[in-house]
Amino acid sequence: MSYRVTFVCTGNICRSPMAEWVLRHHVDEEGLDVEVDSSGTGNWHVGDAADDRTTAALERAGYRSAHIARQFESGWFGRYDLILALDEGHLRALRSMAPDEEARGKVRLLREFDPDAAGDLDVPDPYYGGRADFDLVLDQVEAAMPGLLEEIRTAAKGG
């Protein structure tokens, strides 16, 4: 059975789809059996494509992208092995939705996997910013990938 990872941000049009497609790229390159998707804590953008600036940042870095926004639902905790919040607000929202301690334990911050991230583990919301803000998000997502991939490899082997 595939290992299942989801990323969660606010509206599911900027940060979480960016993280989704970066991880998809890496697991495909390594041939890992991992299902990756994303969603948002809110419903403002359900049915929308990813923000054009997200798509542009991904394309500049050589990643593919195709996305339709959706909202995370409390019944989904059983679907995933790892639920990655993009900031503390998402972490709190997801943990408050979790039906039990096991589900709460699946929720982590993406930047926990970046050994160079110090103090503030939030990936900033680039929505009201420009190209540099989206590029910063991509840099932070990419910095977390080696640690995240190691976590996935370890978990997929059973510990």
The long-range contacts involving 102-111, CB below 8 angstroms and separated by at least 24 positions, are: 103/77, 103/78, 106/77, 106/80, 106/81, 106/82, 107/83, 108/82, 108/83, 108/84, 109/84, 109/85, 110/7, 110/19, 110/84, 110/85, 110/86, 110/140, 110/141, 110/144, 110/148, 111/140, 111/143, 111/144
Average pLDDT, the chain: 97
Active site residue 70: no
**Over residues 57-61, mean pLDDT:** 98
**Over residues 84-111, mean pLDDT:** 98
Categorize the per-residue pLDDT at 95 as very low, low, confident or very high, splitting at 50, 70 and 90: very high
- Over residues 5-41, the pLDDT tens digits come to 999 999 999 999 999 999 999 999 999 999 999 999 9
Of the residues 14, 15, 37, 111, which is catalytic? Answer: 15
**Over residues 43-52, mean pLDDT:** 97
Active site residue 9: yes
Of the residues 125, 133, 135, 153, which is catalytic? Answer: 125
**Over residues 88-95, mean pLDDT:** 98
Active site residue 14: no
**Over residues 57-75, mean pLDDT:** 97
pLDDT-above-90 percentage for the chain: 96
pLDDT at 52: 98
Of the residues 9, 14, 53, 87, which is catalytic? Answer: 9
Categorize the per-residue pLDDT at 157 as very low, low, confident or very high, splitting at 50, 70 and 90: confident
Structural domains of the chain ordered from first start: 3-156 (3.40.50.2300)
Categorize the per-residue pLDDT at 159 as very low, low, confident or very high, splitting at 50, 70 and 90: low
**Over residues 79-89, mean pLDDT:** 98
